[in-house]
Structure 1
């Protein structure tokens, strides 16, 4: 854990962030921590990204890829080593999950070599075979597809707590779901 007093803000990525994002993504890809992302890909998907920033630089990021009407993926989650252990990654994931909730996407998954991080955030272990859209879209093209060492995790958003109704009492009385 690093004790870095620099304040960090998590927000939507902006076009001006892309050069720093690419530099950081390239560094993590060279270490085989994430799959490579091209500059073109980041520009085209800029609306999917959340970044953690200080006054002067991008120190973390992640993206939320919508796979289908009921499924999204947290991808390319990285945090600069100087900011590990400060909740930056958690805040990025929380921002992405909030976006999934806004879009009313009930399930969000991640593939990672660090499952403990996602387990602490309420994700559950799953099998990649339960994510056929991911396999068909991305995994089959991965050079290590048949020897994948990533762990699949999933979280179900907007699920009621055990013993609670999925429909709020006010909504069930008048038949309408609140927005």
Structure 2
């Protein structure tokens, strides 16, 4: 695939259906939590999308877990666009948002450990994030058998 111009921007309500379908594809594979259209509308201001031309080809969101911690969530790309740098551009945009909010720690729960390590994250024990455990994990179907890996990046 040749070099493409990827632009990241804040998501708008016009992106909800695209976000819903993108996340649904990952959720059906069991690698991302599903989100309803209503939930996406409610949290649309936490999302960033990646576009090539007029087409949304990726998304990610940043959710605050505490005064000094945010989580990258719902990070994904459309089929055919993996491996061309879109994920890294989305992570960079989300890191920039965390910096603008003066939040020093950014974490994620992931199966794509190598991707996050390439983007400056370090594998850590997920138990160091009680904010995440109490906010989300208590309602997760994988709660007692979580196989995701926690990664953390300290911002300066």
Q: Distance in 1 between matches of 2:60 and 2:38?
A: 16
What residue in structure 2 maps to residue 20 of structure 1? Answer: 18
Q: Distance in 1 between matches of 2:153 and 2:16?
A: 29
Q: Identify unmatched segments of 5+ residues in structure 2.
A: none
What residue in structure 2 maps to residue 142 of structure 1? Answer: 140
Q: Distance in 1 between matches of 2:138 and 2:108?
A: 16
1:30: how far off?
A: 0.7
Question: Which one has a larger percent strand, Structure 1 or Structure 2?
Answer: 2
Aligned to 1:82, the other structure's residue is in SS state coil
1:6: how far off?
A: 4.6
Aligned to 2:5, the other structure's residue is in SS state coil
What residue in structure 2 maps to residue 96 of structure 1? Answer: 94
Moved more, 79-88 or 4-13: 4-13
Q: Identify unmatched segments of 5+ residues in structure 1.
A: 159-179
What residue in structure 2 maps to residue 126 of structure 1? Answer: 124
What residue in structure 1 maps to residue 28 of structure 2? Answer: 30
Q: Does the 8 Å contact 1:59/1:79 carry over to 2?
A: yes
Q: Distance in 2 between matches of 1:25 and 1:35?
A: 8
1:5: how far off?
A: 5.0
What residue in structure 1 maps to residue 47 of structure 2? Answer: 49
Q: Distance in 2 between matches of 1:26 and 1:145?
A: 20
Give the TM-score taking structure 1 as reference length: 0.84
Cα shift readout 1:114-161 (whole Å, capped 9, x = no counterpart): 111001111111111100010001011111111111000001000xxx
Aligned CA RMSD, in angstroms, stands at 1.1
1:61 aligned residue (47, 59, 66)? 59
1:42: how far off?
A: 0.8
Which one has a bigger Cα radius of gyration?
Answer: 1
The count of corresponding residues between Structure 1 and Structure 2 is 156
Q: Does the 8 Å contact 1:4/1:82 carry over to 2?
A: no
1:93: how far off?
A: 0.4
Give the TM-score taking structure 2 as reference length: 0.96
Aligned to 2:80, the other structure's residue is in SS state helix
